[in-house]
Amino acid sequence: MTNVSLVTTFILSGLPHSPELDTFLFGIFLVIYVLTVVGNLLIMLVIIVNPHLHTPMYYFLSNLSFVDMRYSTVTTLKMLMTLVSPEGSPISFSSCVAQFYSFDFLGSTKCFLYTVMSYDRFLVISYPLRYASMMSGRTCAILATITWLSGSLHSAAQTTPTFRLPFCRPNQIQHYICDAPSILKLACADTSTVEMVIFVNIGLVTLGCFLLTVLSYMSVVHSILKICISAGRGRAFQTCASHCTVVLCFYVPLVFIYLRPGSKVVDRIVAVFYTVLTPLLNPVVYTLRNKEMKKSLLKLKK
């Protein structure tokens, strides 16, 4: 990657807040980070050690837990560093590139995983008798590989043109992570082409995955309405509602930040929803509301 930048180090300014709140916010986000990592690690451990959970749903869930754990590490840890640095947290140019790539890679992979997981729920509810053959182990492995490769390509398509720009303006990044809108504001060249590439790239992935997820859940709801037993309908609706809540908490802030012109201070606050809260919500939604996972956790405790 060729770059004629005069900037060798960036400064991450962090969340907009009063200095008096540094200790309080640090404590809150540290607890969230620890709970997120421990929660997702537990999910992965339980799925690995319990043969009864070696099914497509839990296979994709373990992938999601790994993504969430890494995603939280990439974002929340850097936020914590900005809270203990009143002047802002310094990050080298190469580290900023790495964080930018990792952030986009994990975020887009997460989008694809949500889509695959919603498709899996659609198959198990709409085609219960054919589900085992339609979602075989080989199919699961192929789908998981595609999500990771797609996330990698999506991120590379954004990282490469962004960091080929020259950076010679003040190196203060108005964010707690190296993110596209904040980075582009520091470039001393025309960024319209790169902005269009990022807009189209994120737009296609985000809206495409979101629409496919919505279609899958609409089909699931249609199938649920055919269930004769009301208790069965209630449980199925609760599961769908929980999953949809997490998906909306992830997608809505993404659309708000990336699919509109300009970058504002409020973007940093909105970004907390999908960078910090959704990785914490996933273990709660997909584990505490799941009887099989709760039983496996109790066995692991014993």
Enter the pTM of the model.
0.86
Looking at residue 230, what is its pLDDT?
58
Instruction: Let me know: does 166 contact 5? Beta carbons within 8 Å.
Output: yes
Looking at residue 202, what is its pLDDT?
81
**Both tokens of residue 302?**
């014993």
Looking at residue 300, what is its pLDDT?
65
Q: Which residue has the higher pLDDT, 47 or 1?
A: 47
- Does any domain span residue 2? no
Looking at residue 15, what is its pLDDT?
81
User: With bands split at pLDDT 50, 70 and 90, how would you rate the model's confidence at 235?
Assistant: low
Tell me how many domains the chain contains. 1
CATH number at residue 77: 1.20.1070.10
- Does any domain span residue 1? no
Dump pLDDT digits (tens) for 194-224.
888 888 888 788 888 888 988 888 888 777 7
Dump pLDDT digits (tens) for 154-201.
999 999 999 988 887 678 888 888 888 888 888 888 888 888 888 888
What is the C-alpha separation between 166 and 194, in angstroms, rounded?
Answer: 12
User: With bands split at pLDDT 50, 70 and 90, how would you rate the model's confidence at 2?
Assistant: very low
- Does any domain span residue 231? yes
Domain coverage including residue 30: 9-301
**Both tokens of residue 207?**
């809206």
Neighbours of 80 (CB within 10 A): 20
Instruction: Let me know: does 240 contact 118? Beta carbons within 8 Å.
Output: no
Backbone angles phi, psi at 135, to 5 degrees: -120, 65
> Residue 262 pLDDT more than 60?
no
- Does any domain span residue 163? yes
> Residue 70 pLDDT more than 60?
yes
Bin 9: left if φ > 0, else alpha if -120 < ψ < 50, else beta.
beta
**Arithmetic mean of pLDDT, 13-25:** 82
DSSP string covering 20-34: GGHHHHHHHHHHHHH
Backbone angles phi, psi at 187, to 5 degrees: -75, 145
- Does any domain span residue 28? yes
Looking at residue 227, what is its pLDDT?
63
- Does any domain span residue 4? no
